Structure 1
Amino acid sequence: MQGTIQNRDSFLKNIASRLGRERKVEVAKPVWAYNPQEQVLKDATKDELLEVLKTQCLKIHTDLITTTKADLPQKLENLISEYGGGPIVTWKDSRYEEYGVSNLLTQDLPNKNIEVYEWQASKGKENIQKAENANIGITISEITLAESGTVVLYSGNDRGRTVSFLPTNSIMLIPKSTLVPRMTQAAHKLREKVKNGEKIPSCINYITGPSNSADIEMDLVVGVHGPVKASYIVIEDL
C-alpha cells in the first residue's frame, strides 16, 4: 500500500519562512574548484591497480590469488581443500558457469562427497541455515576498490548476503575488469546506473577482508564478526 503526504507544501513553506527565505524547490549541484578524490590512482592501469590491491590485502589479512579463467577451477579447488572442504554455499549466479567453475561446484566436488549448496530464494530461511552451517561461502565481486581492498557485492533473490558473512571462510571471485581505484569510482558507477534507469539492489555490501577489531586493550583480533578467513581470487578476464 502506498501512503500519501498531507500538507507537504504548506509545511515546507512554513519552515522556509521561519528561516527567513523563500522555499527552495531545486538544489543546484555545487561545482568544486578542486576534486582531490578523483585524482588518487586516476591514470592507473588495471595491472597497476592489481599491485595496489595486492599490497592492501597484506594489511587487511586477506590472501590474494591471481589466475586465468582456464586455471580458475583448479585454483579454487586447491583453496577449498586448504580451507578444509565443505559444506560450501554459493549464490545462484550464471557467472560461475561463465568463469568455468560450474562443473566443479555442481559435479566434481559433490562426487568427492563435498556438499555444495546453491542459494534458492524459494527456500527462504533454509538458505540462511545452510549459510550458517557452511565452512565456505563463495561470492563474486561487482566492483573492487584497489586502494582499500574492498569488494562490492550486490544482494538479491538469488544472491543472499549471508553467503558472504555467515560461513567460517569466505572466497570472493574478482574479475580483473572490476578493479577501480577507490570508493569514488564505485559511487560513479552506481550513480550512472540510477541515471540510466537501471535497477540496483536495495542491499549493496562493501566488504574489506575479514573483520579487524582491536576494541579490547588494543589487541587486534581478526574474524570476530563474520568469516575467520577471507581470500580473493583475481581472474584475468580482459
Structure 2
Amino acid sequence: MAIQNRDSFLSNLAANLGRPQKREAVIRPEYSVQPQREVFKDYSTEQLIEVLKEHCKVIHTDFVRTDKSDLQAALVKVLEGYEATSIIASNDKRNQEYGLDKTYEELSKEMDIHLWDPRLGKENQVIAERTDVGISFSDITLAESGTVALMTNKDNGRSISLMPKCYIAIIPKETIVPRMTQAASKIHKDNENGTIPPSSICFVTGPSNSADIEMNLIVGVHGPVKVTYIVVN
C-alpha cells in the first residue's frame, strides 16, 4: 500500500512544532549497560520451559507438555476439561504439520469446529464471541512473563484469543525465548530481512484479569476465563 502525501504531512507537522523538518535518519544509541539482555541469558530451552511452567502458576494458566505425536490426545483432554462443544481455530499452515487438521476433522463429528475464514469478514468475530474455546499457535513465547506472541493475519484473527470463554495456545518448543527483549529483537530482525509485518502482534499473558478495584484480582473480566498452554516437543 502506497503512502500518500507524506512529505506535505510531515512539513505541516514540523511547522506547527516550530522547527525544521528532520530528514536524517535516527541513529539508535548503543548503551554501555544492557541488563535486559542478561536475564536468563545462559538458560537452555529446557530451563526456559521450567521458568514458563512455574510462571503459569502465577498467571492462573494451566500448563501441559507433550510430544507432537501425542498432541491430539493432550488437546482432547483439555477440551474435555473445558466441557467444550464449539471451537474456533486459526487456519494456520502448522495445523497440518502438527496433525491438528485431522484432530479438527475428528472433533467435528461431535462439536462445532470453525477455522478462521477471511471470506467471512466480521462473521468470524460473531462466531468467536459465542464459541467455547479458541485455539492458535504461539509465534514467540516469553518464558519470564508467561506470554504468547500471536502474529495476526487474514487466517489468524485476534478474536480467537480474545472472545471465546477459554483459550488454548499451542507452543512449539522452539518458539520459547527468555523475555520481551528477545521477542522484540526477533521481530525487528525479521522486518529488516524483508518479512512483511503482521497487521498486529498480540501479546497474551494468561486469562484476562483486572485488579483495578481496590487491588482485588478478578480473573476473566473481559476475555477468556481459562487458558491452557500446551508446549510441544
TM class by smaller structure: over 0.9
SS of 2:222's equivalent in the other structure is: coil
SS of 2:108's equivalent in the other structure is: helix
Q: Does 1:223 align with 2:224?
A: no
Distance 1:31 1:139 in 2: 37
SS of 1:174's equivalent in the other structure is: strand
Distance 2:101 2:95 in 1: 5
Find the partner of 2:8 among 6, 9, 17.
6
Distance 2:38 2:23 in 1: 33
Q: Does 1:137 align with 2:134?
A: yes
SS of 1:43's equivalent in the other structure is: coil
Find the partner of 1:110 among 100, 105, 108.
108
* Matched residue type, 1:45: S
Distance 1:163 1:30 in 2: 38
Q: Does 1:193 align with 2:193?
A: no
| Higher Cα Rg, which structure | 1
Partner of 1:169: 166
Distance 2:10 2:67 in 1: 57
Q: Between Structure 1 and Structure 2, how many residues are aligned?
A: 230
Cα RMSD (Å) of the superposition?
Answer: 2.0
Distance 1:32 1:145 in 2: 23
- Structure 1: gaps of 5 or more residues: none
* Matched residue type, 1:70: S
Distance 2:22 2:116 in 1: 49
Can you list the C-alpha shifts for 1:139-164, whole angstroms capped at 9, x where unaligned?
10000000000000011111011011
Can you list the C-alpha shifts for 1:146-193, whole angstroms capped at 9, x where unaligned?
000000001111101101110000011000100000000000000111
Percent of aligned pairs with the same amino acid = 42
* Matched residue type, 2:31: W
Distance 2:208 2:231 in 1: 20
Give the alignment's TM-score, normalised by structure 1. Answer: 0.91
Give the alignment's TM-score, normalised by structure 2. Answer: 0.93
Can you list the C-alpha shifts for 1:191-225, whole angstroms capped at 9, x where unaligned?
11111111010210000001221222322111111
- Structure 2: gaps of 5 or more residues: none
Partner of 1:33: 32
Distance 1:217 1:185 in 2: 34
